[in-house]
Chains A and B, each alone.
Chain A
């Protein structure tokens, strides 16, 4: 079913967003139609200003509003360890742990010929340059535990080890604080395979 042109146009745009189907797009559009005009304006302006103000960090390719991101500017961070992630939003997740005090490097994805992404499309050359410039001694590979993420991790290990740097990979295992019987079989299976000596 088609709505009046201005409404339909917004529904179509919203439905192009990831995770938004036709029904959600309709609900969002009608919500926006009924809120105060000021609220709708703020939403539109924040989308535009995000696009014009946000850029990528010159050093690590995190999102930032200046030349270097706040993590790269922070002199208390340890430059000798570097965590390599696929996307900027992965940094936020690692930061929340409060366990990592080094710096980051955002690859921009993972090796996936189906999507036309090879090592040349990822920021591998920049990573190698940084490891030499910044005297990094350990690289923690935090790519996703998928076929593509695992393959990218392996590629990185082979690329970086000859540089004399220690390369580690995030462990995969059980969610903490939950009962064993709540873990899904796949996670538990991986945790069994990757079990540790005590």
Chain B
């Protein structure tokens, strides 16, 4: 799939631009703060309807403007998909796909496969579990439309239950809590099932990629730890809903006391293991970096295989963090397709393609290219 054009108005530092990228590699060169990442972020927004920098919608609107407009068209063979989003400073955003309102966010997310490599991807491996949960949930949403809807519904139900606990505390109506527990365990079990299915597919893939990206061959495995159900695997899926419901019941007293939901997939941990070592605490920074890259490459490969379309690839300032060997091997693993790269130092980018200058809210193609 390729982005044919993108138009931004009132988005971050851009008053108004239109970019028609090349079908192959596009390298955006500019100083820090020139708006390279914002442009890549906007491309990502058209695919995921979210900022990959984790910025809230209102932060995307240019200072002084009432709303940001992001429009673009993705093309895959005969098919084309025009995504248009209006993001107001206040109120709800409006999304149109080919001129019509999509039935849900999940419909858009699974329609445009895109993988972004980000400067702080090392956090996927180094930091707490929330980055790993998001990685799994995002990938599941990209692969399976229903998975995106299940996750959205789970988060919605969780927010409702937490609001009830926060507002009412010990006075919260027990019968109402009971029905939220029921919904939460139902949706939570579906979220966990998707994660376990993904982990099973990721393990052999990551083991292979680990060696291909230049490390000494070792087996990559994971351990999924439910809060508070303990280690879980696919064989636990039947009956998972009932166990979650029991766990919510057992935690009711603590939840009422702390005014927040303390059990469920939003608290689960995913431990990544290389050989027999916990990657977080007993691996070198280089090994951690290789697994972080491997996770993104695996997402790229799985989306390509499952969707039958080459994902759009976004590499935000990635090469400055990599040694030349890893850079080269990464590039070798990513054949074909459309690529967007941002960099402050273009000599670091080992890719041939169209080079663009980014400065002063303008994006222009380099002379002679």
Contact = CB atoms under 8 A, between A and B. Distances in A.
Interface of A: 21-22, 111-114, 116, 118-120, 147-148, 150-151, 154-155, 158-159, 184-187, 189
Most buried by A among B94, B110, B163, B176: B176
Contacts of A116: 167
Most buried by B among A114, A186, A189: A186
B160 A186 contact: no
Nearest to A192: B146
Interface in B171-191: 173, 175-176, 178-180, 182-183, 187
B157 A151 contact: yes
Interface string B254-274: 000000000000000000000
A155 B176 contact: yes
Given A112-B160, A184-B102, A186-B146, 20 more contacts: A111-B160, A113-B160, A113-B164, A113-B176, A114-B159, A116-B167, A118-B173, A119-B175, A147-B153, A147-B156, A147-B183, A148-B160, A150-B183, A151-B157, A151-B179, A151-B183, A155-B176, A185-B145, A185-B146, A189-B146
B146 A119 contact: no
A186 B164 contact: no
A111 to B, nearest CB: 6
A186 B176 contact: no
Contacts of B364: none
A186 B149 CA distance: 8
Interface string B51-87: 0000000000000001000000000000000000000
B107 interface: yes
Given A114-B163, A154-B179, A187 B156 contact: no
B32 interface: no
11 contacts: A113-B168, A116-B167, A119-B173, A147-B153, A147-B160, A148-B160, A151-B160, A151-B180, A154-B179, A185-B145, A186-B104
A155 B146 contact: no
Contacts of A111: 160, 176, 179
B178 A158 contact: yes
Nearest to A153: B179
Interface of B: 66, 94, 102-104, 106-107, 110, 145-146, 149, 153, 156-157, 159-161, 163-164, 167-168, 173, 175-176, 178-180, 182-183, 187
A42 B163 CA distance: 44
B183 to A, nearest CB: 5
Nearest to B152: A147
A119 B103 contact: no
B179 A186 contact: no
Contacts of B161: 113
Contacts of B168: 113
B145 to A, nearest CB: 4
A113 B104 CA distance: 22
A196 to B, nearest CB: 19
Nearest to A159: B175
B15 to A, nearest CB: 17
A189 B103 CA distance: 13
B160 A158 contact: no
B175 A189 contact: no
A112 B176 CA distance: 10
A112 B167 CA distance: 12
Instruction: Give the top 6 A-B pairs by smallest Cβ distance, nearest first.
Output: A185-B145, A113-B164, A113-B163, A189-B146, A147-B156, A155-B179
B306 to A, nearest CB: 13
Given A114-B160, A185-B110, A186-B104, A22 B66 contact: yes
Contacts of B173: 118-120
Given A113-B163, A148-B160, A154-B182, A186 B145 contact: yes
Contacts of A185: 106-107, 110, 145-146
A159 B174 CA distance: 13
Contacts of A159: 175
Contacts of A184: 102-103, 107, 145
B170 to A, nearest CB: 15
Nearest to A114: B163
A118 B171 CA distance: 12
B182 A118 contact: no
B167 A113 contact: yes
Most buried by B among A114, A150, A151: A151
Nearest to A119: B176
A77 to B, nearest CB: 30
Nearest to B159: A114
Nearest to B155: A147
B7 to A, nearest CB: 17
Contacts of B106: 185-186
Contacts of A113: 160-161, 163-164, 167-168, 176
A116 B103 CA distance: 26
Nearest to A190: B146
B39 to A, nearest CB: 26
